[in-house]
Structure 1
Amino acid sequence: MIDLEPKSQTSFYQSVQNYFEKAAQHTGLHRGLLDQIRECNAVYQIRFPVKVGNEYKVIEAYRVQHSHHRTPTKGGIRYSNHVNQEEVMALATLMTYKCAIVDVPFGGAKGGVKINPWEFTPSQLEKITRRYTTELIRRNMIGPSVDVPAPDYGTGSREMAWIYDTYRTFKGDDIDAAGCVTGKPVNQSGIRGRTEATGRGVFYGIREACDQVEDMKKLGLEPGIAGKKIVLQGLGNVGSYTATISQDEGDAIIVGVGEVEGAIYNEKGIDIHELLKFRKETGSILGFPGAQNLDKKDRTRVLEFECDILIPAALENQITTENAHRIKAKIIAEAANGPITSMAEEVLLKNGKLIIPDVYLNAGGVTVSYFEWLKNLSHMRFGRMEKRFNQQINQNLVDLIERTTGKSVTDRERMMVARGAEEIDLVRSGLEETMITAYQQIREIMMRKRKVEDLRTASFVSAINKISSDYLSLGIFP
């Protein structure tokens, strides 16, 4: 991912609040309930010492639980030099709305540790992670029924395994301990498909948006994702999976890629698999055969390249009032959290851009985390009970068709038709259904409420209405 400084005076948190207020006026809910939905319920700031080499460093860290309308709360842990309380509050707030939009029964939360993870050795990172987890355990801010972390920027399955192991050390009698964190390695009670989940969800969301004939006609584009030219900012976990799946399964054309070292462009297309291999070998995307290069100082110009779809998959506040008017893409798909400031969004909407908002589009990660949490609580992998049964039923059906028609199928065709669903198949199917259904709900709000003219406002309206229903059902508000 690209680690860039913010470029706008409008903070990430303020942008999120601006989006909320814009949507709130379309809900008809009274101010007290809206304020309860909007504000963070719990903010925990931590400082703890860790020995690094021959010296001690005091590490600054946070855990924010935005809403307890549903429990447990859920949200990733970010390792970055730019972590601060306001950023973590913004991310936790988005998590609440994100979970509501895709009907995942969690409240929103987020964690952050203010370090550059690439400046530490694995053993030092393990110390930091375990100490951070210990602090959360002491404050009862982690647990399968309390608060369930996950990976985010600068963390991955390795860190989640450390969190799980630390939790088990303290809570050895908790039979559901594996559900204390998601994004774990598959052999540590994780789930297949979690690593690709956010990127795959982004693909499903973009594909669904591109399948809306009326919306594409307004943009002057043909329906479907196939043949669409895509520019990607950020080649981390989310960006790389979004790009590879869009290329392989959607037949989209990747024409531009930006990363921390610079940006490249080739209007004829960039094979993303070859680019990832090239970067692994050379340490840079610059110099990729057949592509034009922009060095580090011009790397943000990748946002302004000619394309149909722009996918910011780096950090927040990348599109501001300074560059919004130079964006050429007709569709901006927010794979990252908060890449467009609220003021810049007004410019883009006036210019007729279709913005697929982060609060919906990158919900694939929490959706599959939900599946992992369910797997941990059930203590059984998906497909274990029904796979062989379904496979035998399908096998019998193929045999019946062969006998009835007098024709036979090839072994490959038989395998394709008769095979039972593996865990990865069920995870992908569930994610696809979730993203499609959520998009249709959001678009329905736009169609029904004439004054709701953009997908982000419709997404927030959807989230606010669902959360308010939970609060009202509790009898807290009349």
Structure 2
Amino acid sequence: MANTNKAAMQDGHFFADVCKNFDYAAQFTNHDAGLLDQIKSCNSVYRFRFPIRKGNGFEVIDAWRVEHSHHQSPTKGGIRYSEMVNEDEVMALAALMTYKCAIVNVPFGGAKGGICINPKNYTVQELENITRRYTVELVKKNFIGPSIDVPAPDYGSGEREMSWIADTYATMNPGQLDAMGVVTGKPLALHGIAGRREATGRGVAIAARECVSFGEDMEKIGLTAGLAGKKVIVQGLGNVGYYSAKYLAEFGATIVGLCEYEGAVYNADGLDYDAVFQHRKTTGSILNYPGAQSFTRSGEGLEQPCDILVPAALENQITIENIRNIKAKIIVEGANGPTTPEAEKVFYENGGIIVPDMYANAGGVTVSYFEWLKNLSHVAFGRMNRRFEENSNMNLVNMVEGITGVSLNAQQRATIVKGASELELVNSGLEDTMIRSYHEIRETYLTTPKIDTLRTAAFVGAINKIAVSYSNLGVWP
């Protein structure tokens, strides 16, 4: 039973859209045309097929791994499990990974993988067989390794699949000390890192918070500074969408709409995102949540009144067909490529702001970088110094109390003395990365003549950083 992969046979435009954005931004740089072509092009595209047993027969699976840029090693990017995945999409996502890593100053080249299946149509054993066979194919072609190419979760995959990949790679490379660094997004018990699961969503929320923190920028679009009271619609209740909603709410925003593929719910006074999530787990649908208006077409949910829209599902969700119905003033792209170039142009003409995907959803790769470093160093963050910090702080508190005669209560003492855990260090590093990166993008936007969008500014910054890396590499005959 062959997998015909209809999506792969359709003409793709996603990579062309990425290249179009790149070419537009490149005109604001002074780099050689050949160097720009090298930065833009995909270095390696590996398409392969392999059979698996399914029932009493066989099924042939289509799969890809694309390494877009080797200006830094290893390359880095998730593996998407979707029956709609195709070569064009994987190439586009790999390119976005290259620029994303450069924007947030993570020393990886960009890569991406795809397996053309719907995971819901397979048993756990079949999914394990597919994942392990995919890994074997990558190992045979030297397309995976802690210093070569490091996959991560993406749409349709998660910690379980990453564990299978790590185990398969370690089995095929006995004695390799850094084998667990071959993949990130692993469970904490299998050399993962605290905070990785929620990292992308947390990064999206921080990106939104930074965007609205500049009063002069908000004044131009008729909003006040700060997230407090801002009405937000989130598309997608997967890992990214759920945690985006969670942290946006914690930062003071009001979640008024949630959208999924079966429809959307909206309440202008606010929704309990967790209660909606549990309602969907119980009933199998986001629809008919008590106290909310339901829409059977997911796209209608995007068009309801709000200040900030967070598309955190798949690409091409906001197009020229629906952009004029979008009422949000700010779009924060939690997904990769959710807004088409034509729609983006209209949105900016109408006075909106788009926080681009290459920056907004970079929290995942940032914390993946921390996990990779943890795997290579073979020690958890905070393990060596947490108790030392607490003892040093305790000595300082005792000294101050002795000099001043003021005694702290137990809660105050615990707050001051406490050393940082791995999760706190990871979240601190993620927050610092997202804040610094937004300021870099905004500075480029404000200081480079004729740059008209934050996306273009992000591309310009990424191109300049990658060009420096290539300029320092040897070009062999």
Structure 1, residues 169-196: CA drift from partner, whole Å, max 9, x if none? 1001211001000001111111010000
SS in 2 for 1:149: strand
Aligned to 2:444: 445
Does residue 255 of the first structure (1) align with residue 256 of the second (2)?
yes
Match of 2:231 among 219, 229, 232: 229
Q: CA deviation at 1:10?
A: 7.8
Q: In the aligned structure 2, how far is the partner of 1:462 from the partner of 1:236?
A: 30
Match of 2:44 among 39, 42, 45: 42
Q: In the aligned structure 1, how far is the partner of 2:280 from the partner of 2:393?
A: 44
Structure 1, residues 40-88: CA drift from partner, whole Å, max 9, x if none? 0000001000001211000000000000011100000000011100000
SS in 1 for 2:470: helix
Aligned to 2:300: 301
Match of 1:97 among 96, 99, 110: 99
SS in 1 for 2:73: coil
Aligned to 1:351: 350
Contact 1:23–1:460 under 8 Å retained in 2: yes
Q: In the aligned structure 1, how far is the partner of 2:439 from the partner of 2:408?
A: 38
Contact 1:320–1:341 under 8 Å retained in 2: yes
Q: Which amino acid aligns with 2:133?
A: R
SS in 2 for 1:58: strand
TM-score by length of 1: 0.96
Aligned to 2:293: 292
Aligned to 1:13: 15
Q: Which amino acid aligns with 1:410?
A: N
Q: In the aligned structure 2, how far is the partner of 1:306 from the partner of 1:434?
A: 31
Q: In the aligned structure 2, how far is the partner of 1:32 from the partner of 1:22?
A: 16
Q: CA deviation at 1:408?
A: 2.4
Structure 1, residues 27-49: CA drift from partner, whole Å, max 9, x if none? 11121000000000000001000
Q: CA deviation at 1:299?
A: 1.5
Q: CA deviation at 1:158?
A: 0.1
Match of 2:136 among 134, 137, 141: 134
Q: In the aligned structure 2, how far is the partner of 1:154 from the partner of 1:245?
A: 22
Q: Which amino acid aligns with 2:282?
A: E
Q: In the aligned structure 2, how far is the partner of 1:450 from the partner of 1:415?
A: 51
Structure 1, residues 128-181: CA drift from partner, whole Å, max 9, x if none? 000000000000000000000000000000000000000011001211001000
Q: In the aligned structure 1, how far is the partner of 2:92 from the partner of 2:199?
A: 22
Q: CA deviation at 1:301?
A: 1.2
Structure 1, residues 93-137: CA drift from partner, whole Å, max 9, x if none? 000000000000000000000000011111110000000000000
Q: CA deviation at 1:443?
A: 0.6
Structure 1, residues 205-258: CA drift from partner, whole Å, max 9, x if none? 11111111211111111111121100011110000001011112x011000011
Aligned to 1:374: 373
SS in 2 for 1:155: coil
SS in 2 for 1:57: strand
Q: In the aligned structure 1, how far is the partner of 2:149 from the partner of 2:289?
A: 43
Q: In the aligned structure 2, how far is the partner of 1:375 from the partner of 1:228?
A: 37
- Does 408-417 or 54-63 show the bigger shift? 408-417
Contact 2:12–2:89 under 8 Å retained in 1: no
TM-score by length of 2: 0.96
Q: Which amino acid aligns with 2:294?
A: N
Q: In the aligned structure 2, how far is the partner of 1:386 from the partner of 1:159?
A: 33
SS in 2 for 1:51: strand
Contact 1:199–1:241 under 8 Å retained in 2: yes
Q: CA deviation at 1:414?
A: 1.7
Q: CA deviation at 1:9?
A: 8.8
Q: CA deviation at 1:396?
A: 2.1
Q: In the aligned structure 2, how far is the partner of 1:9 from the partner of 1:361?
A: 28
Structure with more contact order per residue of length (Cα contacts < 8 Å, sep ≥ 6): 1
Q: CA deviation at 1:400?
A: 2.7
SS in 2 for 1:35: helix
State the identity %.
57
Q: In the aligned structure 2, how far is the partner of 1:391 from the partner of 1:174?
A: 36
Q: In the aligned structure 2, how far is the partner of 1:92 from the partner of 1:13?
A: 9
Q: In the aligned structure 1, how far is the partner of 2:214 from the partner of 2:299?
A: 30
Contact 1:10–1:341 under 8 Å retained in 2: no
Q: Which amino acid aligns with 1:198?
A: T
Does residue 412 of the first structure (1) align with residue 414 of the second (2)?
no
Aligned to 2:3: none
Q: CA deviation at 1:421?
A: 0.4
Q: In the aligned structure 2, how far is the partner of 1:228 from the partner of 1:47?
A: 48
Aligned to 1:311: 310
Q: Which amino acid aligns with 1:170?
A: M
Q: In the aligned structure 2, how far is the partner of 1:433 from the partner of 1:199?
A: 15
Contact 1:43–1:64 under 8 Å retained in 2: yes
Aligned residues: 468
**Change in CA separation of 1:132 and 1:475 when aligned onto 2, cut-off 3 Å:** closer
Aligned to 1:66: 68
Give matches, 1:69-468, under 5 Å. 69-248=71-250, 250-295=251-296, 298-468=297-467
Q: In the aligned structure 1, how far is the partner of 2:396 from the partner of 2:158?
A: 43
SS in 1 for 2:206: helix
Contact 1:89–1:110 under 8 Å retained in 2: yes
Contact 2:39–2:463 under 8 Å retained in 1: yes
Q: In the aligned structure 1, how far is the partner of 2:459 from the partner of 2:240?
A: 23
Q: In the aligned structure 1, how far is the partner of 2:404 from the partner of 2:331?
A: 50
Contact 2:12–2:88 under 8 Å retained in 1: no
Q: CA deviation at 1:332?
A: 0.2
Q: CA deviation at 1:475?
A: 4.5
Q: In the aligned structure 1, how far is the partner of 2:49 from the partner of 2:12?
A: 27
SS in 1 for 2:379: coil
Structure 2 residues without counterparts, runs of 5 or longer: 1-6
**Change in CA separation of 1:242 and 1:106 when aligned onto 2, cut-off 3 Å:** same
Contact 2:73–2:108 under 8 Å retained in 1: yes
Contact 2:82–2:155 under 8 Å retained in 1: yes
